[in-house]
Structure 1
Amino acid sequence: MSANEIRIPKQKRSIEKRTAIINASYDLFCEKGYYRTNTAEIAKAAGVSTGIVYSYFHDKKDILKEVVGLYIFRLEEQFRPIFCSTIDRGNIAVVIEKFIDLSIASHTMNAAAHNEFLALALLNNDIQVLFNHFESKMLETLYEKLVAAGYLGDLLLERLRICYGIIEQLCHEHIRYKRNDVELSNMKSIAISTIVGLLDMAMG
């Protein structure tokens, strides 16, 4: 195997080693930060040699893409109940509230990961692409469900992006300032009524 050749794991033990490297990196990047973590620390935490790490990954940046991919996979799993649900005009407010609750949970399931990876996305185009792809896929799924529910396609996707921005801002406001239950409930009510109004404007 040449110095630049990366091993594609096929055997169970090899797959387990690669997975252990990704999981160890995830924990270390959250605990110490990406730039303060070196490959030797990753290898030690994963229970492998540094050489093994480089047999599966070109460099630490290569590992980072896999780690962010794991984080996004976990986000997708959290939002799966929404993706699998049926949306209609009668339950739209309930679905929006569920989406808000899941969004808050996704921001807090690992606050360190959320902060670290989104900060890295501002500096690393590959990471930004991964997050953009996740957001686009999520909005496209919601768009299709809304169209099936009778919402018009004209400017619907743009309205949906604005709705998503409202929810993101609510999450950041709640987490940053540690809003109490009453304040959070009030913000959710305002957000839900605003989003329902925006979507109703696109109703056929």
Structure 2
Amino acid sequence: MSANEIRIPKQKRSIEKKDAIIKASYGLFCEKGYYKTNTAEIAKEAGVSTGIVYSYFHDKKDILIEVVKLYIFQLEEQFKIILDQIAEREKLAFVIGEFIDLSISSHKMNRDAHNEFLALALLNNDIQDLFNGFEYQMLEKLYKILIEVGYSEEFLIEKLRISYGIIEQLCHDYIQGKTSDGELNKIKFLAVPMIMNLLGNA
């Protein structure tokens, strides 16, 4: 199907159908995996015909892109609540702790999705670009907030990137069963002051 044959939904019912396809795909990709899910299964789960699926998407890869965008949007909304709390320098340690807790919670709640999409990102540049964009926007927002509360700009974005990597590794080790709940609490206890020290003084 050529690009000009793909429908862009404008009416409420059409938008709802496309959203249903994306949400159905999200569940199936997490449950069965991207490669083991076919378009007919997606259509059945979404309550539409296979033809309707192809009227909104070129192929399964197009659906995957929208599914990952939905996943990232959900992450952004969750983290926005935490980031908006950084109004004063004195609250940063608390916010870092909250950020770690939310990261762990998000990884646990969406473990199947996270593992599936992370694996796909290694094989697909478009998916990798979406995750890189999410990380970039997250770090840029943190950078601007920290500058506003008095942190030095010197190497700040690099320090934030390292801090983000520490938290991501902590989460991955936990959801993969490499650390227990007790070990996780100890690591978190060490990670917060470590990140605070890394970020340095204003």
Using structure 1 for the length normalisation, give the TM-score.
0.94
Deviations 1:16-38 (A, max 9, x none): 11111101101110111000011
DSSP-derived class of the 2:171 partner: helix
Q: Give the equivalent residue in structure 2 for 1:28.
A: 28
Contact 1:87 1:146 in 2 (8 A): no
Structure 1 residue 179 displacement after superposition: 3.3
Deviations 1:83-138 (A, max 9, x none): 21124331211111001001101111111100000100011111111101111001
Q: Give the equivalent residue in structure 2 for 1:8.
A: 8
Q: Give the equivalent residue in structure 1 for 2:92.
A: 92
Structure 1 residue 14 displacement after superposition: 0.7
Contact 2:174 2:184 in 1 (8 A): yes
Alignment partners' CA distance in 2, 1:89 and 1:10: 45
Aligned positions of 1:72-91 closer than 5 A: 72-91=72-91
Deviations 1:46-93 (A, max 9, x none): 111111100000000000000000100111111121221124331211
Q: Give the equivalent residue in structure 1 for 2:143.
A: 143
Alignment partners' CA distance in 1, 2:48 and 2:170: 42
Q: Identity of counterpart residues, as a percentage?
A: 67
Contact 2:86 2:92 in 1 (8 A): no
Alignment partners' CA distance in 2, 1:193 and 1:84: 21
DSSP-derived class of the 1:137 partner: helix
What letter matches 2:123 in structure 1?
L
Q: Give the equivalent residue in structure 1 for 2:152.
A: 152
Alignment partners' CA distance in 1, 2:123 and 2:101: 29
DSSP-derived class of the 1:10 partner: coil
Contact 2:111 2:175 in 1 (8 A): no
Alignment partners' CA distance in 1, 2:59 and 2:180: 43
Q: CA RMSD in A?
A: 1.3
Q: Which runs of 5+ in 2 are unaligned?
A: none
Structure 1 residue 39 displacement after superposition: 0.6
Alignment partners' CA distance in 2, 1:142 and 1:70: 22
Aligned residues: 201
Alignment partners' CA distance in 2, 1:24 and 1:158: 38
Alignment partners' CA distance in 1, 2:27 and 2:128: 20
Contact 1:159 1:198 in 2 (8 A): yes
Q: Which one is further off, 32-41 or 89-98?
A: 89-98
Q: Give the equivalent residue in structure 2 for 1:70.
A: 70
What letter matches 1:30 in structure 2?
C
Where does structure 1 differ by over 6 angstroms across 4 or more consecutive aligned residues? none
Alignment partners' CA distance in 1, 2:91 and 2:2: 57
Using structure 2 for the length normalisation, give the TM-score.
0.95
